Amino acid sequence: MQNQEIRGAKRSSKFKWVNWAIIGITMIVAVIYILVVDRPENIIAAIRSIKLYWLGIAGVMMLLYWLLESCVLHAVTKKLYHPQKFMDTVRTTMVGQFYNCITPFASGGQPMQAYSMVKTGVPLGIAGSSLLMRFIVYQFSLTLYSLITLIIFWNFFASRVTGLAFLSAIGFAINSLVMAGLFCIGFARGFAKKITVGTIRLLAKMHLMKHPDEKIIAAEIELDKFYEGFQLARKNAVVMAEMFLLSLLQLTVFFLIPYFLCLAFGQTHVSLFQVVAAQAFVTMVTSFVPLPGAAGGAEISFVTFFAIFMRGSNLNLSMLLWRMLTFYAPILIGGIVALGCSNESEAYMLNKCETEAQKKKLLEKADCAEKSKVS
Do the Cβ atoms of 81 and 122 come closer than 8 Å? yes
What does the domain layout of the chain look like in residue ranges? 51-374
Secondary structure (3-state) at 363: helix
pLDDT surpassing 50 at residue 9 = no
Chain segment 176-194, per-residue pLDDT in tens = 888 888 778 777 888 888 8
Q: What is the 3-state secondary structure (H, E, C) of 301-348?
A: HHHHHHCCCCCHHHHHHHHHHHHHHHHHHHHHHHHHHHHHHCCHHHHH
pLDDT surpassing 80 at residue 256 = yes
CA dihedral 10, 16, 19, 23 (to 10 degrees): -140
Q: Report the distance separating Cα 370 and Cα 375, nearest Å.
A: 9
Q: Which residue has the higher pLDDT, 326 or 224?
A: 326
Q: Report the distance separating Cα 302 and Cα 319, nearest Å.
A: 7
Chain segment 190-247, per-residue pLDDT in tens = 888 888 888 888 888 887 778 888 888 888 887 887 787 778 777 888 898 999 999 9
Which residues fall within 8 angstroms of residue 178, CB to CB, at 6 or more apart? 139, 143
Q: 267-273 contacts: CB < 8 A, separation 24 or more?
A: 267/309, 267/310, 267/314, 270/309, 273/153
Do the Cβ atoms of 112 and 119 come closer than 8 Å? no
Chain segment 47-104, per-residue pLDDT in tens = 888 999 999 999 999 999 999 999 999 999 998 889 999 999 999 999 999 988 888 7
pLDDT surpassing 80 at residue 34 = no
pLDDT surpassing 90 at residue 306 = yes
